[in-house]
Structure 1
Amino acid sequence: MGRYVGPKARINRRLGFQVFESAGAVRALERKEYPPGMVQRRRKATIYGLALIEKQKIKYYYGLREKHLRRYFDKARRMKGNTGNNLLVLCERRLDNVVRRAGLAITRPQARQGCVHGHFQLNGRTVSKPSIQVRAGDVITVKNRPNLKKMYQEVSSASQGECSWVSFDADELKVVVTSLPTMDDVSLPVDVGQVVAFLSR
């Protein structure tokens, strides 16, 4: 699966929101709260433009490409209930997002990298797909290697992971998915109604 590897600070400034959590990107948004590019009078955003910004927030926040976001949208549309809520809950259930929310990574790209490199085990099996959908009762652990254990001990002590639907044991580096997330547990402030309207075009 592809991922965005361009300048993160530009995306934060373009969307006016802290999508990327790396220190440099956060400082850039605090220092320059206006969009990147030539400083000029900005036109009022159209309805299409506002919806596009909301969609881009989801894409960059969860590290998705357009094709994968639309795949989640098609799946959410076939599920019972509100399509927008289903879409965000599917994104929240990604393995890399759970690793980040639990506090085993400082940023989502870091969590994704750890998943791709096979640093984590899901229910005792080593996995390398960050897009795996976790279920209630799933157990995520760090692979039993001293260098990985040491690294993630340091990361978890520096990271701030607070998540009501995930239980994290810092001593054993074990994450337990206690329940499935709901719309109230989604950490991204986004107008999902506009995203649904945009993707339904």
Structure 2
Amino acid sequence: MARYTGSVCKICRREGFKLYLKGERCFSPKCAQIKRPFAPGQHGAATRKLTQYGMQLRAKQALKRMYGLLEKQFRKYFDMASRRSEETGTALIKLLESRLDNTVFRMGFASSRRQARQLVNHGHILVNGRKVNKASYLLRPGDVIEFREKSKGIVPVKEAVEAAQDRTTPPWLEIDYEAVRGTFVRFPNREEVEIPVDLQSIIELYSK
């Protein structure tokens, strides 16, 4: 299946909560989830009662879409998490949060994960001084993320950094906005990451 290229606002409306896919618009009153808090389509406002499987599926779809992953990618991360010694849900969040594109977004160097992925793919990002153009690159504690010198002046990056300075910095990251550089200090704890879905539902879905 090809990557979704339609309106990302419809994705948030379909899931019923913000997935922060639209950048600054998600933080403004113009957010579609605020203006039209119901699913898109002719019958979107109708009340529907989901089965247990339906709730599990929606939880999986929401988390997958939040991080911008396709089914095969997401299943790979779940399988990796399930083989680790710690609780599967915690391991899954650590893997997802340590992706390079997600970290660039969390640091405020991009207004959305989609924009962060584009910046990585186009070769604007350095990890420990070396160019990395793979958005799925998994970071390790101590890795330093920064922009190439000629990429720091890109307008979308400057706008994202300016907006991010008014927000709370994730405790597992250290950020120098002036230098457009950050450090992945450690893996986040489960309670430090705001996830709008029930991880146990996803585990149960894949364990069938």
**Residue from 45, 65, 70 that aligns with 2:75:** 70
**Residue from 81, 98, 122 that aligns with 2:103:** 98
Question: How far apart in 1 are the matches of 2:124 and 2:110?
Answer: 12
Share of identical aligned residues, percent?
Answer: 38
1:110 aligns with 2:115: yes
Q: Is residue 21–residue 66 contact of structure 2 (8 Å, CA) maintained in 1?
A: no
1:121 aligns with 2:122: no
Q: Is residue 100–residue 111 contact of structure 1 (8 Å, CA) maintained in 2?
A: yes
Question: How far apart in 2 are the matches of 1:27 and 1:177?
Answer: 30
Question: How far apart in 2 are the matches of 1:24 and 1:58?
Answer: 17
Matched with 2:40 is 36
Deviation at 1:162, TM superposition (A): 1.9
Q: Is residue 89–residue 186 contact of structure 1 (8 Å, CA) maintained in 2?
A: no
Q: 1:116 to 1:16 in 2, by over 3 A?
A: same
Q: 1:183 to 1:136 in 2, by over 3 A?
A: same
1:15 aligns with 2:15: yes
Partner secondary structure for residue 149 of structure 2? coil
Q: 1:114 to 1:161 in 2, by over 3 A?
A: farther
Give the TM-score normalised by the residue count of structure 2. 0.89
Read off the aligned partner of 1:140 and give its amino acid letter: I
Give the TM-score normalised by the residue count of structure 1. 0.92
Matched with 1:196 is 203
1:173 aligns with 2:190: no
Deviation at 1:111, TM superposition (A): 0.7
Matched with 1:57 is 62
Q: 1:21 to 1:133 in 2, by over 3 A?
A: same
Partner secondary structure for residue 150 of structure 1? coil
Deviation at 1:24, TM superposition (A): 7.4
Question: How far apart in 2 are the matches of 1:6 and 1:21?
Answer: 12
Paired residues, what number? 199
**Residue from 127, 131, 149 that aligns with 2:152:** 149
Deviation at 1:157, TM superposition (A): 0.9
